[in-house]
Structure 1
Amino acid sequence: MYSLIRKMILNTTYRDKGHRPIINDLVGKPFSFIEIIRRKGIGSKRLVIEEVSPNLRPYMNLVSDINYANIELRPYGILIFINKGLSNYTWVVPYYQLVIYKMNCSSIHAQGRYVHFMVNKNFKESKSFFNKLWDAKINFDMKYNFTNNMDDF
């Protein structure tokens, strides 16, 4: 189990045949082209990362460059694509682990890690994407809500 948690951040700079099954098992297969059109897109614009948890710092630029990320919706979770120079990393986050906070900035928390996104023009343009993300998370939680079933015992 520990090795699976460590593999939730994958180096996707180059194609690796082993990454696809891991991603598909955790968050589902990619949406079909028709489904992407029906949903009016499944990806965010390029978001500026303001701050990350200490265990995500190795995946960030060390110099004072701006760090960027994109988010993609999947049926059972999200993929957060982080760019570090010429390297690309993918953080795989299933919905059951996902927590979203909206305060002065928006942040995504899961697996003991977090990413804070800067509220700027690109973030404001991604408002419709974040609404889709909220809806998907809520629908997942309602579909797999086990707390109501526990009252029967």
Structure 2
Amino acid sequence: MLVNVSYKNLEITKKIDAQVGKPFTLKERWSMDGIGSPKLLITETRGEIRNLLLLDNNVDSCNIELRPKGIIVRFRSLLETFALVIPYYKLVVYKGDLAHYAIYRDHYFIKVRSDTKAIQKFFKKMLALKTDNTPTNLEDL
């Protein structure tokens, strides 16, 4: 689900919380050593996200927030902030060559550069959370 989160909208917040869960508490954030990624440089996208990023001439970047049941990928276009909400059971991550990760949800796709140890450490943490929280039975969905 790709949504504009520039303005406070309770309906959108409820939809996001329903898909990926409410944000972690402060105590959980401390114990996890943070829930946000470093700044990620976007190298390739497709479809709707690409059209949004082409609207301005800024450097295309995003960040990822971990949630109990999924992740939120946030990026900016013009003066708006957009969020790609991805539950863990729909999240697919591929590690390409040495310096890229590809993040998929259905027909959405974002490829980011992973040229630092901090980014690689974050992706390991994200994939560990995915394996711990992905339902194993269809009834669990």
Same fold, TM-score > 0.5, yes or no: yes
Larger C-alpha radius of gyration, 1 or 2? 1
- In structure 2, give the amino acid aligned to 1:113: Y
Distance 2:121 2:80 in 1: 28
- In structure 2, give the amino acid aligned to 1:108: I
C-alpha contact (below 8 Å) 2:72/2:86 kept by paired residues: yes
Q: Deviations over 1:90-130 (max 9, x none)?
A: 11000010000001210101121110002334xx3222211
TM-score of the aligned structures, taking structure 1 as reference length: 0.82
Distance 1:58 1:17 in 2: 26
Distance 2:19 2:63 in 1: 18
What is the 5 A alignment of 1:31-70? 31-70=24-63
Give, in angstroms, the shift of residue 85 of structure 1.
2.7
Q: Which residue matches 1:117?
A: 112
How many aligned residue pairs are there?
A: 136
Give, in angstroms, the shift of residue 78 of structure 1.
0.3
- In structure 1, give the amino acid aligned to 2:102: S
Q: Which moved more, 1:132-141 or 1:62-71?
A: 62-71
Q: Which residue matches 1:82?
A: 75
C-alpha contact (below 8 Å) 1:47/1:68 kept by paired residues: yes
RMSD: 1.5
Distance 1:25 1:64 in 2: 34
Distance 1:17 1:65 in 2: 29
Structure 2 unpaired stretches of 5+: none
Structure 1 unpaired stretches of 5+: 1-7, 148-153
C-alpha contact (below 8 Å) 1:61/1:85 kept by paired residues: no
Q: Percent identity?
A: 31
TM-score of the aligned structures, taking structure 2 as reference length: 0.89
